Amino acid sequence: MSPRRASVNEELRRRSRERLLQATVDLVGERGYEATTLGDITDRAGSARGLVSYYFAGKRQLFQSAVHRLMHLTLEAALEREPRTDDGNERLARAIDAVLGLALDRPVLMRAHMAGILQAEGFVRCPEQQRLEFLLRGTLERYGSPDVDAEYPLLRALLMGAVFAVVVPGAQLPLERLRAELFLRYGLDWELGRD
């Protein structure tokens, strides 16, 4: 039997990692972060238990990477949906709506994500987060931001603050109010974005 080619091994590793990320999103969304164990995640993913430590430094990094992947995929789908457009205002409106939509549709998951960022380990930079950053920076470029390096951290902070305001029990702000504030900040017409 001949050994597998490197490209086949790489594809198998990619799929295995993605199964772990998806299982994490699913389980934490169902049970919450604390009630989800690494064993639960590897069982759901159909992976060996030691595989998590091969890809991630621990449960917190796995979880943040999983949420960043979900955010990246959600944002990518919103930006590329039909009718496709290169209009910067439309793309920024879609980005805002995509992130706010995650807070509304997945409050348990996004609440756990916000709580994790506030932990001692803080914000985890990972390949999934970098893909998300790339999409948001590209959106700001198409929007016409004169200084993407300065505007990106501000947009990220505004979106994180809006998510926080949607998911915090007992202190939620209405989604429409948050959307209106973000749209006003960027001079976006109300009818842009949504499906």
pLDDT at 195 over 70: no
Select the highest-mean-pLDDT range: 4-13, 44-53, 118-127, 144-153. Answer: 144-153
CA distance 139 to 152: 10
**Beta carbons of 98 and 74 less than 8 angstroms apart:** yes
Of the pLDDT bands very low, low, confident and very high (cuts 50, 70, 90), residue 100 is: very high
| pLDDT tens-digit series, residues 53-74 | 888 888 989 999 999 999 999 9
| pLDDT tens-digit series, residues 76-96 | 999 999 988 999 999 999 999
pLDDT at 3 over 80: no
CA distance 153 to 149: 7
